[in-house]
Amino acid sequence: MKITNRQKMQIKRSVSVLCSCMMLFLLTGCGQSRYDMAYTVNSDVSSLRLVNIEEKNLNAEPFASDLCVVSSDISIPGIDTSKADGAGLFDVNGRNTLYAKNVYEKLYPASLTKIMTALVALKYGSMDTTLTASANVRNLESGAQTCGLKEGDQMTLDQALHVLLINSANDAAIMIAEGIAGSVEAFADMMNQEALEVGATNSHFVNPHGLSDNDHYTTVYDMYLITNAAIQYDRFNEIIHMKEYQTVYYDKSGNAKDLSVNSTNYYLQGNADAPSGITVLGGKTGTTNAAGHCLVLVSRDTSGNPYISVIMRAESREDLYDEMSSLLSGINK
């Protein structure tokens, strides 16, 4: 019987969970106490969870010693995210969740997906690798954001990542996926494996750009985990901080083509203001009809401490930035 890609991913997840269970048991130093792992890839809470069966303690809690964790909604007086389906504010260095609303609800990520695309590319790709666009870069739904790539066009992975993260170009996402993995499907498998490795177990990806698909989803908390992994790469931090980008790439005949793109982030554009004392370093926007308006930001306070904030499925762009600014004000409270 032929094993499908999805079945292969399920096997990989099962093996990864088993290894995690064995390692966690060895590291806890629990003597003869018996612990059982109440965890599946379909669990409501991302990361690993322990339940002490012998003591009948059935309250499962997230297990992530070096990460922000949360098991229920957390509010801050004066913070309003009523026009978004999910929101979270995470103190990266303090490993503390400051605000949480529906952080484990599965939602469509739209172009927030491209943070995972960049993470996989940074981990497995080489920035000076030359990528060549296939005909698939034109095979996108009507109205999708693109940078105008055509079959045979060439640019480096570094150039493609700039266009991907700054301007949210969906054709660049296709070029990156095919250049690294050979196909969109194979790259999606890499994305799902990487999600598993960072603990984002309530996510599933089927493409590198985030255009709508019923089987393509994530959560607010998983976007924190994915972004937290991405900011470990200096190149990611440099790119998301850029307001604009100019470069030159080449068509299939070797002719030079100029490209200039601007950030889709209103904070970087100067069209939205962060609260006093908060500096927005950058982030990623995402918008589709199914996903609504989404935004992940990396910010810092006056002491230089970093924070990751997430808003998903806001009703409008205006609501998205109003509620994100409200959320960021929680850093100083």
Here the tokens at position 264 are 């889709």
Asked if 10 and 42 count as a contact pair (C-beta separation under 8 A), the reply is no
* Chain Cα centroid distance, residue 29: 34
Dihedral angle, C-alpha 294, 206, 7, 24, nearest 10 °: -40
Asked if 312 and 290 count as a contact pair (C-beta separation under 8 A), the reply is no
Residue 66: CB atoms within 10 Å: 6
Nearest to 248 by CA among 136, 128, 156, 169: 156
Which residue in 46, 47, 168, 263 is the catalytic one?
Answer: 168
Active-site annotation holds for 65: no
Asked if 137 and 211 count as a contact pair (C-beta separation under 8 A), the reply is no
d(CA 142, CA 185): 21
Which stretch of DSSP H or E encloses residue 58? strand 57-63
CA angle 278, 281, 283 (to 5 degrees): 115
Which residue in 111, 263, 326, 329 is the catalytic one?
Answer: 111
Active-site annotation holds for 111: yes
Active-site annotation holds for 263: no
Which residue in 46, 47, 101, 114 is the catalytic one?
Answer: 114
Q: CA of 5: how far to CAs of 9, 20, 30, 197, in Å?
A: 6, 22, 38, 18
Residues designated catalytic: 111, 114, 168
